[in-house]
Homo-oligomer: A and B are copies of this chain.
C-alpha cells in the first residue's frame, strides 16, 4: 500500500463544493440554491478516505463486477465480525447479512420479526426509520418519551407500553436526533425488559463510530450471551465513512431461525436485492484500512460539534445540548414564535441555511420546537452558517 496522499485534515481545503453540487443529494448541496449552506442530511462534506477510494478503483480496473454471494463477500463478513468483536459482540460470518444499506437491513429485520397485529416499542423522538420500518411490516408502533434535551429514558413509561402483543423493542444508539450515547445501565434495563417480556431487540448502531463525548459506546448485544441471542444489531458505512451513496450496511442476528427469515425477506435469495460488488469492496476497505482516517474525522468532530452547540446556545431562545455521539445537533428554538417547519423555512429564506425541522414525521411528536443540524463539515462552513444565523437573530431583536 502506498501511503495516503490526502492528509488527514478536515478543513475547507478538503471540501470540493463544485463536486458536492453535482453529487450530494437528499436535501444537500446538489438540491439547494447555490448560496445556501445545507446542514441537513446526516452525511459528511469530505471525500471518502484514500484507501477506500483506491480499493474501489483497483477493483473497477480489474473489471469484474459480476453477481456477488447472497450474504455478502465472505472477507467482508469476516471483517464485520472482527469489528463487532471490538464492540464485544461475538459473531460468526454466517450470521452476518450484508445489505444495500442500514435502512434496508432495518426494513428486512422488521419484516421478519413483526406481523400485522403485533406491536413494536420505540422512542419519541427518534429517527423516522425505526417506527416507519415497523409500520411497513404491519405493526402498531408505541413510543416511549425520551427527553429531547438529553435523551434520558423514562423506564416506567417504557414498561407500561409493553403488552403481550409487543414483539420488538427498537433502539437507536447513539441516538438520532438527541446524540445521546446510551448508558450501560440503561441498556441493561432495556435488556431486562426484553427478557422479561420475550422481545426481540433491534439495535440501530449506524452512528456507533461517531463517539465524541466521554460516554463509551456499548452495544446492547455485548451485555450477555442471552441478550446477544435476542438482538439484531444493525450498522452501516454512511455516517463514519461517507459511503451513503454506495448503499451498504449489515445486520448481525445470532438466532438462526430469525436470521433465515430475514435473509428470505431481504430479497438477496431471489436477486431482487443486495449490496453491490464495489459497495462491499469499499466497506471492507473502510473496516480494514479506514481506521486512522476515521479516527481523525472523529477527532475533528470532537472539537467542532460542541463548539457549534455552544455558539448556537448563544442565540436568544436557543438551547443546544452537546451531543455525546453523532455529528447532529438538536437545539430547541423558542425564538420567533413559529412552529419548527415554518422556522426552518424562515431560516432557509432569510439566512440561506438549510436545516431539518423537528417535524413529527421525521422524529415524532416530541421533536416539536426543535431543529436538527448536521455538521460533518469544516469549521469554516459551520462558522459561515453560524454568522448567518447570528445576523438573522440580530435583525429580529
Contacts and interface: CB of A to CB of B under 8 A. Distances in A.
Contacts of A246: 65, 276-278
A46 B393 CA distance: 61
Nearest to A22: B64
Given A57-B61, A107-B272, A129-B270, 7 more contacts: A43-B66, A63-B242, A65-B243, A65-B245, A104-B267, A128-B270, A278-B278
A338 interface: no
A129 to B, nearest CB: 7
A25 B278 contact: no
B245 A16 contact: no
A65 B41 contact: no
B274 A107 contact: no
B67 A132 contact: no
Contacts of A274: 100, 247
Contact of A41 (B47, B67, B272): B67
Contact of A67 (B48, B245, B279): B245
B62 A60 contact: no
Contacts of A20: 64, 66
Nearest to A280: B245
Interface residues of A, number: 58
Interface of A: 16, 19-20, 22-26, 28, 30-31, 41, 43-44, 47-48, 53, 56-57, 60-70, 100-101, 103-104, 106-107, 128-129, 132-133, 242-247, 267, 270-279, 282
Q: Say how many copies of this protein the assembly contains.
A: 2
Contacts of A56: 56-57, 60, 278
Given A23-B66, A66-B25, A101 B271 contact: yes
A366 to B, nearest CB: 21
A66 B100 contact: no
Contacts of A30: 69
A23 B245 contact: no
Nearest to A46: B63
Question: Top 8 A-B pairs ranked by shortest CB distance?
Answer: A47-B63, A26-B67, A245-B277, A56-B60, A23-B64, A65-B245, A24-B66, A57-B57
Contacts of A243: 65
Contacts of A247: 100, 274-276
A27 to B, nearest CB: 8
B272 A64 contact: no
Given A19-B62, A53-B61, A67 B25 contact: yes
B57 A60 contact: yes
A133 B270 CA distance: 9
Given A28-B67, A67-B245, A16 B270 contact: no
A118 to B, nearest CB: 19
A104 B64 contact: no
Contacts of A61: 53, 57
Which of A23, A31, A64, A273 has the most chain B CB atoms inside 10 A of its CB?
A64
A18 to B, nearest CB: 10
